[in-house]
Structure formats: C-alpha cells, structure tokens
Amino acid sequence: MKSTISIAILGIMLSLSGSCGSDNQEPPISNSSTMPEYEISIADSFGMELGDSLNMIGSINGLCHHPNRSILLLDRSSLRIRVIPTEGDPQLISRRGEGPGELLLPQSMCALHDGRILVSDEMKHEVMSFDITGDYLGSYFTTDRYVPYSMYPLDSSSIAGLMLKLDMSDEEIVFSSVIGRFEATSLPSVVFQTREWIWPAPEMYTEIALIDLAADREGNVFIAADNTEYHISVYTPDGEELLQIERDDVSRMPKTPDEIQAEIDDFESWAVRDEAYTGGYEPSPFYHLISLAGIDAEGNLWVVRHDSDTDCLFDIWSLSGNLMYTARLSRSENDPDLIFRVDQLGILAATNYACQFQRVYILNLDMSEDGS
C-alpha cells in the first residue's frame, strides 16, 4: 500500500479553511443590527503581473509573516519558499532536490518566534529549518512516515500541528489524525484532539479536509474539527478545553451539481495514483461554513464566514468567547477567491485557485468612526 501517496493527496486538499468555559455560560450571539462592523480594504499586493521570475508565483500553499515583517509564501508548484521583504527585492529559499534543505513535496510552513522558518516535506519525512537568508539549519524533526499538514508557531521552539499516524496489525489498518504540541520531535508533548478511521475509509479524505486550526503566542490552540459547522474549541497550552465558540445563525451555501462533479473528478485524478484509495469519495453538497484565519495582535480570533457569494465576511472573537465585531472585505463577482492569514503583524490574503493569477494582498482594517 502506497500510504505516503495517499496522504500526500490529503496534503494537497488541506493546503488551502456560546462559550462553555469554567462558568458554563453560553457565548453571546451577534446581532447584525447592534454588532459593530468595519471595512477591510486592500492596501498593497504582490504577484504575477510584475512579470519576472522572482515575482511569478506558481502556487500559494502557505502564507504568513516572518518576525522581521517579511511575507513568506510556500510555493509548492516551484518547490520554493518566497520571501517578500518590506523593503528590497524578493528572495527565494531552497529548491527542488533530494539533498539537505531541498524540497520534494512540501506540505506546510510557519515561522517560529525566533525567526526560524519551518517547512514540512512529505517525501523527505522531515520538518526542515531555515534562517531568513535561506541557510538550511538542519531538521526540526524527522519522521518515519508523515509530517504536519498544518503548523502554527507557539513560541521559539514549539508548534501546534496536525499530523497523521498509521497503526497496522494483522486484523486492521487504523489511521489517526492528531492535533498536538510538537517540540522538535514527532511525538506530541500535548494532544488536543484525535480522530481515527479504520481502513478502508473513503470518508477519511473528506473528514480530514474539514479540520482547521490556529494558535496564539500564549500557546492557546483553536480547533474547528468540522468546518461545515460554526463550532470552535479553544484549548489552553496544557491541553485543557478552555471554552467553545459557536453561532447558530449562519447558513451554508450549496454547491451546484456541476461543482460537485468537478470536485469528484479533480480528487479522483489524484487518487488514481494511490493504491490505497478504494473509491467512494463523496464531497459535501455544501461549501464549508467557516475557516480560521488566525490570531491578531490583540489576541482575538479571526473566523472567516463563507455565507456570502460576494463579500468576504469575518467574525472577530476575544479569548473569553465574546464576539467583538465583524469586518467585511467588499468584492465583486469577478474578483478572485481568496484565502486569509491573520497574525500579530497584520492581515494577508492570497488567491485560492491555481487557475487564477497568483497574488498576495496586504489588507487594512479601518476601525475609524468616519471610515476615513
């Protein structure tokens, strides 16, 4: 069984998605007539229209800020990490190859608080470490099989990540997804959530793609285990569930039959290479409801709502489970679909599909009363 190939397919799918804390109180639900709403605008952009090889992005499969305020892009198509500095020319990190620090099948990327850049590579069975100049610093950790398909920095030495685990016996094959805290080792020091599937399990492909996570600088971890629902669990650094964030007044948008069939065809064009795939992939008839964009400088969680076919809508939640305000990025039907990443250095967006011109957008949130 070519398990590595099967999970590499999942990596492609994943790369680009009241409070019941100790007092058991339900979190407030927003009221559109009273909840403050602010506008988001595009302040700057970077990408393909500039035309030279450094700026011609193949794909955007990871997006974040570096602590020095540069923007980092994981470009799986060209097997490079692209560094867009605040001043000066863009830089490229790594290249295609089997040697130390080279990439074969990168899955995820993040920047630790000390400035090290981590890149997980499925075929190398390694999470690699680089400095901002592109020098390979060695392995953050190596694995026997799988690597994190999503990573968030927790501090200068640890990450929150989603990894898969395979257990085989004479009776059955069990795949597990583990969301945990990893400290330079493939064994998590803290486990926040797990999920298991007994093979064959075609639903595994769909269900793993529903998982979304984010983390803040204090080590708290935010998990949407099923992004077709507006339900987010928040965990303390030691793995205790702190609270749950929920809304019940946001509706999912249906896919058309053509969109569903196109999704099946696209998935099975990859799965035909996978001897472990036994058929039966059935995508959801609805788009996912939410995705987690990240945590801002104030420690607030940004949740992207996918209940509009035009504007991009955001709910901003405090760590105590209060909906602070909402935000809107107005767009027309002809504007590209976007993915988002929020961190303490700002709001980033990027085109979502390979068939679009690949661009990165720097966004600005206007919280002034007059909107100026």
- Which DSSP string do the residues of 211-241 spell out, in sequence order? -EEEE-TTS-EEEES-TTSSEEEEE-TTS-E
Residues in the chain, total = 372
From 316, 366, 346, 364, select the one nearest 67 (Cα to Cα).
346
Phi-psi region of 279 (alpha: psi -120 to 50; beta: other; left: phi over 0): left
Q: At what angle do helices 3-14 and 257-271 cross, to 10 degrees?
A: 140
Q: What is the pLDDT of residue 32?
A: 44
Q: What is the pLDDT of residue 147?
A: 96
DSSP state of 48: G
Phi, psi of 142 (to 5 degrees): -115, 160
- Token pair belonging to 296: 């801002």
Q: Any residues with CB less than 8 A from the CB of 259 and at least 6 apart, and which? A: none
Q: What is the pLDDT of residue 369?
A: 67
DSSP bridge pairs for 175? 166, 197
From 87, 92, 91, 110, select the one nearest 102 (Cα to Cα).
92
Please report, for residues 81, 238, 333, 360, 366, the alpha-carbon distance to residue 311 in angstroms, rounded to integers and kept in the order given. 30, 37, 9, 18, 16
State the CATH architecture for 3-366.
6 Propeller (2.120)
Q: What are the structural domain ranges in the chain?
A: 3-366
Q: What is the pLDDT of residue 273?
A: 61
From 134, 224, 137, 221, select the one nearest 184 (Cα to Cα).
137
Residue type, 279: G
Q: Which residue has the tokens 């680089």?
A: 130
Q: Are 45 and 37 in contact (CB under 8 A)?
A: no
In the sheet that holds 80-84, the strands lie side by side as 62-65, 71-75, 80-84, 91-93
Predicted TM-score (pTM) of the model is 0.85
Coil, helix or strand at residue 246:
strand
Q: How far apart are CA 36 and CA 315, in angstroms?
A: 10
Q: Are 322 and 330 in contact (CB under 8 A)?
A: no
Q: Are 103 and 126 in contact (CB under 8 A)?
A: no
Coil, helix or strand at residue 207:
helix
As a three-state string, the secondary structure of 342-358 is EECCEEEEEECCCCCCC
pLDDT in tens, the chain (372 residues): 333 333 333 443 344 443 223 333 334 344 444 789 999 999 999 886 544 455 678 889 999 999 999 999 999 989 999 999 999 888 999 999 999 999 999 999 999 999 999 999 999 999 999 999 999 999 999 999 899 999 999 999 999 999 999 898 878 999 999 999 999 999 999 999 999 999 877 778 778 889 999 999 999 999 999 998 999 999 999 999 999 999 999 988 888 888 888 888 877 776 666 656 677 778 888 888 999 999 999 999 999 999 887 899 999 999 999 999 999 999 887 788 899 999 999 999 998 776 777 889 999 999 986 554
Q: Which residue has the tokens 């560094």?
A: 83
**254 C-beta neighbours (distance < 10 Å), count:** 12
Q: Is the dihedral of CA 250, 242, 316, 216 positive or negative?
A: negative
